[in-house]
Amino acid sequence: MTSVSQVAAEYEVVIGLEVHSQLLTESKMFCACSAAYQDAPPNTTVCAVCLGLPGALPVMNRKAVDYVIRTGLALGCNISGFTKFDRKNYPYPDLMKGYQISQYDQPIAYGGRLEIETETGIKPIGVTRVHLEEDVAKLFHRTDEFGDNYSLLDINRAGVPLMEIVSEPDMRSPDEARSYLTQLQSILRYIGVSSANMEEGNFRCDANISVRPLGSPEFGAKVEIKNMNSFRSVHRALQHEAERQVRAVNEGEEIVQETRGWDESAGLTFTQRTKEYAHDYRYFPEPDLPPLVIEQGWVQDVLRVLPELPAARKQRFMHEYGLPEYDANLLTIVKATADYFESVVSLSEASGDALEQLAKQVSNWMLVELGRLLNETGREISEIKITPQGFVELLALVSEGTLSTSMAKTVFEEMFVSGKPPAEIAERQGLVQINDVDKLGNAVDEAIASNPKPVSEYLEGKEQAVRFLVGQVMRITRGKANPPMATQLLKERLDALRQSE
Ligand code: ADP
Ligand code: MG
Ligand code: ZN
């Protein structure tokens, strides 16, 4: 099979993404029904408006507009001062009214960009537009005991606010498309407008892809791929489709503009329908809604509550805390992680090198130990029981030598479960490192007395023999000895022995 990398020398892949993301409003887009359709029993969150009954009139959800403005600003878009809704007509049983209220030629936001990371550095991807529309009902296709097909309809989802974010055809590989989606998801979650979860179906991606001979100024005909339900399947589908198109072109076939479905288990795309054109939808302005005027004051209000975005925060983490890019990246993808990190670090009054050292320690503990515990328990960082205060105290216990690193890991695990302060846990579990010279001295004497062979080896000049003896001290103290201190004491006593010989 020809791989994309093999053909990259002759062909260029062109990708543009259309993402639909549900907005986290309490009520639906044009009625007062609850938008929380996921856990509601089928057909319980419905009314005359979202059922599409004749005579019912839509009322605009201001919060949804607010969220699209917020998204537009986060993506560096212009916000339209004047916008409107349009009817997009198409016959399909999941569409209660026979048309969807959407936005055609005057989206709320347009002309933005999203920066992604590629192997060669940061690359801006154009954001064509962000517009607002309504989600459709859900169909469940079934087969009865006689083998006849039928469909069940759950209307709860109909009318849930849906935002569409359309990119420019600026991506040049499946990897870039995946970076775009990851970055977009992170931003939408940061600004709190969507839970942006592809597996749960509230973040959906249609991927448009074409290939062209390298250096060609024109784009090839694009194919739109649908039905992917994870970032991984988007990547796989694009990879597969790029290869299919290159093979087809090489065999002299013409690529036709069409919509293809992705079959996850077969790992291939298949023709669904030849692509419809805008005129097929017979768009016209929605007569039941007034145009929407977005005053500058509204935009300013939204701008004021916009949080620092992940890319900016990552850069700040690198500058302010001296963190490596790798750490800064992992700590800032999820807002709650970055917030937690800063709530720990900000408890310290350290500055300069000391602050950077602390930041790196906190980062290590978060990315390694905490990351593992969250993974194992399937918990979210937002539910974490370890208080920032406890976190800092634990690090202090390690740096002052009260706890060894391995003891600290045990304490950390217990803190993760109970949220108790580290000193209390360490005491209850008897996990305090022996730093007391007298106490440690007894163990050192015992180790020397009961291991004459390594002792004489050391005395004869084999310095490494001390390592075995340190191991013995650790065994005698059941791991509680402070190893550098034990080493030092052992050497002092052995050297004294040597002199007295
Ligand atoms: P349509 O009207 O068919 O929806 P648009 O021009 O609105 O087409 O583009 C839809 C998406 O397809 C956008 O994300 C855009 O970037 C992408 N796109 C457009 N042309 C191409 C192409 N030749 N190859 C890949 N993607 C494309
Ligand atoms: Mg489109
Ligand atoms: Zn309703």
Q: CB neighbours (10 Å) of residue 413? A: 15
332 with 325: CB under 8 angstroms? no
Q: What is the dihedral of CA 231, 265, 241, 133, to 10 degrees?
A: -50
Nearest CA owner, ligand 1 atom 14 = 16
| Closest atom of ligand 1 to CA, residue 221 | 23
Residue 406 has pLDDT above 90, yes or no: no
Atom nearest to 166 CA in ligand 1: 14
Query: Which bound ligand lies closest to the C-alpha atom of 205?
Result: 1
Output the pLDDT for position 6: 52
Q: Which residues pair with 116 in a beta bridge?
A: 123
Residue 199 contacts by C-beta under 8 Å, 6 or more apart in sequence? Answer: 229, 230
Rounded CA separation 198/185 (Å): 9
For residue 217, the CA-to-ligand 3 centroid distance in Å is 48
Closest ligand relative to 278 C-alpha: 1
289 near 58, Cβ under 8 Å?
A: yes
DSSP code for 439: H
The residues of the chain that CATH labels 1.10.10.410 are: 437-500
Ligand nearest to the CA of 47: 3
Q: Which CATH class is domain 437-500?
A: mainly alpha
Ligand 2 centroid to residue 204 C-alpha, Å? 13
pLDDT for 245-280, tens place per residue? 999 999 999 998 999 999 999 999 998 877 666 678
Which amino acid residue places its CA nearest to atom 7 of ligand 1? Answer: 166
Give the pLDDT confidence score for residue 278 in this predicted structure. 66
Rounded Cα distance, 342 and 354, in Å:
15
Q: Which atom of ligand 1 is nearest to the CA of 219?
A: 23
Nearest atom, ligand 1, residue 257 CA: 3
Q: Three-class SS of residue 136?
A: coil
Residue to probe by mutation, ligand 1, list 90, 222, 249, 258, most atoms within 8 Å of CB: 222
Question: pLDDT tens-digit profile of 131-185?
Answer: 999 999 999 999 999 999 999 999 999 999 999 999 999 999 999 999 999 999 9
- Percentage of residues of the chain with pLDDT beyond 90: 77
Which amino acid makes up residue 109?
A
Residue 222 CA to ligand 1 center (angstroms) comes to 7
Residue nearest (by alpha carbon) to ligand 1 atom 13: 16
Q: Average pLDDT, whole number, for the chain?
A: 92
- How large is the average pLDDT for residues 54-73? 97
Task: Among 2-16, 321-335, 375-389, name the one with the lowest average pLDDT.
Answer: 2-16
Q: Which two tokens stand for residue 246?
A: 């290159």
Q: What is the pTM of this model?
A: 0.85
Q: How far is Cα 156 from Cα 37, in angstroms, rounded to an integer?
A: 5
Give mean pLDDT, residues 445-455. Answer: 91
Kindly give the distance from the C-alpha atom of residue 38 to the centroid of ligand 3, in angstroms, as a whole number.
15
State how far the alpha carbon of 222 is from the alpha carbons of 33, 92, 114, 174, 376, in Å: 38, 24, 22, 15, 42
**pLDDT, tens digit, for every residue of 80-109?**
999 999 999 998 899 999 999 999 999 999
Distance 54 CA to ligand 1 centre (A): 35
Ligand nearest to the CA of 34: 3
* For the CA of 220, the nearest atom of ligand 1: 23
Cα-to-centroid distance, 339 and ligand 2 (Å): 37
- Burial of 319 per CB tally in 10 Å (0-12, 13-18, 19+): exposed
Ligand 1 atom at shortest distance from the alpha carbon of 17: 14
pLDDT, one tens digit per residue, over 454-465 is: 999 998 888 888
Q: Which atom of ligand 1 is found nearest the CA of 168?
A: 16
Mean pLDDT lowest among 86-95, 129-138, 379-388, 439-448: 439-448
| Site to substitute for ligand 1 among 167, 208, 256, most atoms within 8 A of C-beta | 208
Ligand nearest to the CA of 96: 3
Average pLDDT over residues 440-447: 88
CA 352 and chain centroid, separation: 30
Q: Report how far ligand 1's centroid is from the alpha carbon of 205 (Å).
A: 13
314 C-alpha to ligand 1 centroid (Å): 31
- Closest ligand, as measured to the CA of 167: 1
Name all residues whose Cβ lies below 6 A of ligand 1. Answer: 14-18, 166-169, 208-210, 219-220, 222, 278
Percent of the chain with pLDDT over 70: 97
Quick one: pLDDT at residue 5?
52
Tell me the longest C-alpha to C-alpha distance in the chain.
108
Nearest atom in ligand 1 to the alpha carbon of residue 169 is 16
Q: Confidence class of residue 476 from pLDDT cuts 50, 70 and 90?
A: confident
pLDDT at 1 over 70: no
Between the CA of 206 and the centroid of ligand 2 the distance, in Å, is 9
pLDDT of residue 440: 84
Task: Calculate how far, in angstroms, residue 87's C-alpha sits from the geometric centre of ligand 2.
Answer: 15
Condensed to tens digits (0 to 9), the pLDDT of residues 6-44 reads 545 699 999 999 999 999 999 999 999 999 998 899 999
Ligand 3 centroid to Cα of residue 50, in Å, is 4
